Amino acid sequence: MPLLLLLVIVILSALFLYWQLVVAEGAYFGKGVVAWLYNLVAQRYNRIKQYDAEDDARFLGAPLALSLQGISQPIVLDVATGTSRLPLTLCRQPLFHGQIIALDNARRMLHEATQYVQTYRDRVTWVWQPAVPLPFDDHTFDLVTCLEALEFMPSTPAALGEFIRVLKPGGLLLVTNRTGSGRRLMPGKTYRQEQFEALLQSLQQTDITTQVWQVDYDLVWSLKPDTRKTCEVFGDLTGLAPIDLLRCPACRAQLDGAGDTLTCRSCGRRYPIGRDGVIELLAVRH
């Protein structure tokens, strides 16, 4: 009898761990565990995912490049960039002439990202930093994207709030909403379509459109309303290098670059830049 009980406990524990670590990817244990798991699979990530470049161009690259037409030097933020799927498909678009800041919480995913985007190194800046808080001023980006990642973050509303904060008025937000069996297996972390759209609405987003995309994800498009009065102008960011847009995560002041380090103008914290070019904000604990 005790042996049977032991067997049941072992099986239940194995199922629990499978659910928590494989299905939910560590989401219920916090962002440190999520990053640890992604670091473990980073080198195999693209082989596991088998992204289709043509599909990505059709559903992501082309429509996003089109939406940015008319902005002379658009600046894009891809949160939870993984191995740079979004930067890659966007940079391949002939219509796209902007800069992308690609941010992720898992350092090894970013290292892989730098390897995949070699051809476009001058157009992508990688930052090691979680999605909340984002190290940028309000109203910085023309487009913010976050694909296949919201449900792994500690709080979807907090993350969306940050994405919208750093979007320029009139800017486009593209995120994914988990669907299919994956949604039901992550209670408290996922949203039905109408709940997700209501959440975006409560954050003042407009023109919210859900588009069926992959087996496990819908694409959700929305706009940040442009509530500026005609006389009100936000700082002109045209021509600024992506590094000039970065802010110290500890005190929000500007950072100055010299060699392989960025130094905060206000608190003096020094943030290293890895040999692969990744800006390691997370290397400095606050």
Ligand X SMILES: C[S@@+](CC[C@H](N)C(=O)[O-])C[C@H]1O[C@@H](n2cnc3c(N)ncnc32)[C@H](O)[C@@H]1O
Under the criterion CB under 6 A, does residue 191 sit at the interface with ligand X? no
Under the criterion CB under 6 A, does residue 96 sit at the interface with ligand X? no
Q: In angstroms, rounded to a whole number, what is the distance separating the alpha carbons of residues 254 and 18?
A: 43
**Cis peptide bond upstream of 133, omega within 30:** yes
For residues 150 to 189, the per-residue mask of contacts with ligand X, x marking binding by CB under 6 A and - elsewhere, is: --xx------------------------------------
Among 41, 93, 137, 148, contact with ligand X (rule: CB under 6 A): 148
Cβ neighbours for 270, distance < 8 A, ≥ 6 positions apart: 261, 262, 263, 264, 284
Closer residue to ligand X, CB minimum distance, 38 or 126: 38
Closer residue to ligand X, CB minimum distance, 55 or 260: 55
Under the criterion CB under 6 A, does residue 104 sit at the interface with ligand X? yes
Closer residue to ligand X, CB minimum distance, 10 or 53: 53
Residue recorded with tokens 């959700």: 220
Q: In angstroms, rounded to a whole number, what is the distance separating the alpha carbons of residues 232 and 234?
A: 7
Cβ neighbours for 46, distance < 8 A, ≥ 6 positions apart: 83, 112, 116
Under the criterion CB under 6 A, does residue 269 sit at the interface with ligand X? no
Under the criterion CB under 6 A, does residue 216 sit at the interface with ligand X? no
Q: Which residue is nearest to ligand X (CB)?
A: 82
Segment lying near ligand X (by CB under 6 A), choices 103-111, 182-190, 241-249, 268-276? 103-111
Under the criterion CB under 6 A, does residue 131 sit at the interface with ligand X? yes
> Mapping DSSP to helix (H, G, I), strand (E, B) and coil, where does residue 239 land?
coil
Smallest gap from Cβ 129 to ligand X, in A, equals: 7
User: Contact at 8 Å (CB) between 176 and 150?
Assistant: yes
Tokens of 43: 């080198």
Segment lying near ligand X (by CB under 6 A), choices 13-21, 75-83, 222-230, 253-261? 75-83
Q: In angstroms, rounded to a whole number, what is the distance separating the alpha carbons of residues 13 and 92?
A: 45
Smallest gap from Cβ 121 to ligand X, in A, equals: 19
Under the criterion CB under 6 A, does residue 144 sit at the interface with ligand X? no
Residue recorded with tokens 């509303």: 157
Which DSSP helix (H) or strand (E) runs through 193?
A: helix 193-202
Residues in contact with ligand X by the rule CB under 6 A: 31, 34-35, 38, 80-82, 85, 104-106, 109, 130-131, 147-149, 152-153
